[in-house]
Amino acid sequence: MRLFSCPNCGALVSFHNTQCLTCGQTLVFDDGAQAFILGLTPCRNRAEIDCNWASTAGEGGLCRSCDMTEVVPETFHGDNRALWGETELSKRRALAMLARWGWFGPSDPGPAPSFHLLSEETSAGPRDVVMAHASGVITINVMEADVVERVERRETLGEKLRTMVGHVRHETAHFLFERLAAGPEFLEAFRALMGDERADYSAALQRYYAEGPEDGWEGRFITRYASMHPHEDWAETVTHLLHLTDIIDGAVACRWPVPDDADLAYDPYAETDAEEIIRRGVYYGMAVNHINQSVGVGDLYPFVLTDAVREKLAFAHRWLSRGGAPR
């Protein structure tokens, strides 16, 4: 994620800021312009969850991101309001980055996903919430916006990385698959590389949790879960492509060049060579891993990208970087 400037005084501000810490200016983000702009009407959810995006429908309207949310948790129950707010922030971040490639923003003529943000804690008692995508609807469990809850589940599932923005990116990747699959050229190339997505998903899921990943999965898949089914291979691959691209974007914003390249205006979302995204992303990931170890913090990006994984990342980049406009 890049850094931004206050439209009033020019001071540096971050994507999540609602007010400039230098001059006190109220900040409203225009997701189409990818900038904070004066004179915009804020999203109706600003008072509810500190949403700092601009309304797309004038006074009393929701922003583009909040308008995609069809269901929210009971805001009067427990910590649900705060968890909803943290989940929406992760969603805005994921959507803002995809908009850099032309997805779901003002220039995208195609459909956008709908989000159901649910909590396991309700006034009627606890309930199960499974994160998933089905028929254009993305379900996210807001309980994992709680850091302790998320870390416990990560440890239970034996995962290396588990974040809210990762959840949003993963489930949105399933929706993006449906958008891309409308063209036969994509499906033919996908099946040749990742397998036939028409394979029985329920059977694959049961087999995965009963038997674990297939032997040698580390050489072919970015995560254990990616080995479960071609749909999950795609979703995990896309998630990591977005992670790597955003890592680069943040590093460049902090004026941190890669070795032998002093281009501090580099835009990873304009890059056409996926291998360059991988090269830079891996460099920054390993560098921050080393820095984190200095203070005993876990690795930022604890993954090994094999040749097979790099090929899949390049495939995802080739299709997603084209954007959502008709081709």
**What is the residue-level pLDDT of the chain in tens, covering all 327 positions?**
899 999 999 999 999 999 999 999 999 999 999 999 999 999 999 999 999 999 998 777 999 999 999 999 998 888 999 999 999 999 999 999 999 999 998 889 999 999 999 999 999 999 999 999 999 999 999 999 999 999 999 999 888 999 999 999 999 999 999 999 998 799 999 999 999 999 999 999 999 999 999 899 999 999 999 999 999 999 999 999 999 999 999 999 999 988 877 778 899 999 999 999 999 999 999 999 999 999 998 899 999 999 999 999 999 999 999 987 655
Q: 288-304: string of b/e by CB count within 10 Å (b at 16+)? A: beeeeeeeeeeebbebe
User: Which of 302, 326, 203 lies closest to 243, judged by CA?
Assistant: 302
Distance (Å, rounded) from C-alpha 149 to C-alpha 136?
Answer: 27
Q: CA geometry: angle at 48 spanning 42 and 53, to 5°? A: 30
Q: For residue 1, what is the enclosing H or E element?
A: none
User: Which of 100, 101, 71 lies closest to 88, judged by CA?
Assistant: 71
Q: What is the pLDDT of residues 68-126, one digit of tens each?
A: 999 999 988 889 999 999 999 999 999 999 999 999 988 899 999 999 999 999 999 99
Give pLDDT, residue 96: 95
Give pLDDT, residue 298: 87
Q: For residue 148, what is the enclosing H or E element?
A: helix 147-157
Distance (Å, rounded) from C-alpha 14 to C-alpha 198?
Answer: 42
Task: State phi, psi for 245 to the nearest 5 degrees.
Answer: -65, -40
Give pLDDT, residue 325: 64
User: Which of 315, 106, 169, 215 lies closest to 224, judged by CA?
Assistant: 215
Q: Measured between alpha carbons, how far is residue 298 from residues 164, 290, 307 in Å?
A: 17, 10, 25
Give pLDDT, residue 326: 56
DSSP state of 108: -
Give pLDDT, residue 158: 86
- pTM to 2 decimals? 0.94
Share of the chain above pLDDT 90, in %: 87
